[in-house]
Amino acid sequence: LLTLQRGGAEVDATGNLNTTQQSAIDYLSEHGVHVVGAPTADAADHDRYLWEVVRSGPHLLLDNGGDLFARWIEEPDRRLLGGTEETTSGRMRLEPLRDRLRLPVLVINDSPIKQFAENRHAVGQSVLESFLRLTNKATNGRRVTVFGYGACGKGVAANFRNAYAVVSVVERDPVARLEALLDGFLVPERDEALRSADVVITVTGAQGVVTAADLPLLKDGAILANAGHFPWEIDAAGIEAAADGRVTVLESGHMVNLAGPRPLGNSIESMDLGFALQARCLEAVARGDVGPESCVVPVPRAIDETVAAAFVAGAR
């Protein structure tokens, strides 16, 4: 936000439901950002804040989950030039609305940089870091089973292998399973993978990946953790109720790299890359470098290249 401001923008911002921190609001306010609303877990309050932002007559929207564009469509103000959407879920929400949006909207999550820098490398590192910090256990020689070999799962599996764990991957998709095999991971059948695991990590986006029904398979002392977005990948409540202390679910199945004491989340460098994509995409929309034909499309290749080249130059 401060980068946009330094680029000449007047910035109105509001937070997320449940997760906005007062210290962030204070910091932004002290630096001249107009922050709408306050931390809240009340959906009606949050809705009001979103409307206030949309009704402020913006030229650009930086959206997360499609909340702002979906409201703007209900009261379109033609001062809006377009903007960006951060997430996959927002892309899915906005795609069917293209006919009504008819503005450039660039989807940050669909940049390969976001996929490999944040989802693969940063989530992989932060899940390993959180596991070490929360358990104070070594990874060396431990058998770790990772459910899911998408962008995030690849990073989690690689980071635990790099920390000298013996890593197996359970994947629903045969093609991704083959990739895991060719990347050098064990790809046992699901039950065998659970039976041999000292540590089980889910990172699939799916529900009920490991449940209390799996308890007979799990070793005494097994540690379970979820790195997927929602806490429903591991049925933590069911497992804890039935396990009688025999296994541990870290942070009740909430995203292990963002939950618990002193969560650090992803490295700041990986977030910098995503924010640089945001700033460059908003600049392209403001300058008219992309038009309404770019409605809910991935980041233009030229922007990916600019951001990547600048990061590499800074790293030399």
Ligand X SMILES: NC(=O)c1ccc[n+]([C@@H]2O[C@H](COP(=O)([O-])OP(=O)(O)OC[C@H]3O[C@@H](n4cnc5c(N)ncnc54)[C@H](O)[C@@H]3O)[C@@H](O)[C@H]2O)c1
Give the footprint of ligand X on this chain (CB under 6 A).
119, 123, 147-153, 170-173, 176, 203-206, 209, 227-229, 255, 257-258, 266
- CB nearer to ligand X: give 120 or 143: 120
Question: CA dist 48 to 17, 19, 43, 74, 274, Å?
Answer: 12, 17, 9, 14, 27
Q: If you search the block for the tokens 């795609």, which residue do you land on? A: 95
**Separation of alpha carbons 212 and 239, rounded Å:** 4
The nearest distance, CB 53 to ligand X, in angstroms, is 24
- CB nearer to ligand X: give 16 or 29: 16
Question: Which residue's CB comes closest to ligand X?
Answer: 150
- CB nearer to ligand X: give 164 or 230: 230
The nearest distance, CB 231 to ligand X, in angstroms, is 11
- CB nearer to ligand X: give 30 or 189: 189
The nearest distance, CB 190 to ligand X, in angstroms, is 7
- CB nearer to ligand X: give 26 or 173: 173
Residue 207 · residue 232 · CB < 8 Å: yes
- CB nearer to ligand X: give 58 or 65: 65
Give the 3-state DSSP-derived string for the chain, with helices as H, strands as E and coil as C: CHHHHHCCCCCEECCCCCCCCHHHHHHHHHCCCEECCCCCCCHHHHHHHHHHHHCCCCCEEEECCCHHHHHHHHCCCCCCCEEEECCHHHHHHHHHHHHHHCCCEEEHHHCHHHHHHHHHHHHHHHHHHHHHHHHCCCCCCCEEEEECCCHHHHHHHHHHHHCCCEEEEECCCHHHHHHHHHCCCECCCHHHHHHHCCEEEECCCCCCCECHHHHHHCCCCCEEEECCCCCCCECHHHHHHHHCCCCEEHHHHCCCCCCCCCCCCCCHHHHHHHHHHHHHHHHHHHHCCCCHHHEEEECCHHHHHHHHHHHHHHHC
Residue 236 · residue 80 · CB < 8 Å: no
- CB nearer to ligand X: give 139 or 168: 168
The nearest distance, CB 255 to ligand X, in angstroms, is 4
The nearest distance, CB 147 to ligand X, in angstroms, is 5
- The token duo for 103 is 């503005």
The nearest distance, CB 115 to ligand X, in angstroms, is 7
The nearest distance, CB 143 to ligand X, in angstroms, is 17
- CB nearer to ligand X: give 54 or 210: 210
- CB nearer to ligand X: give 102 or 229: 229
The nearest distance, CB 101 to ligand X, in angstroms, is 24
The nearest distance, CB 137 to ligand X, in angstroms, is 20
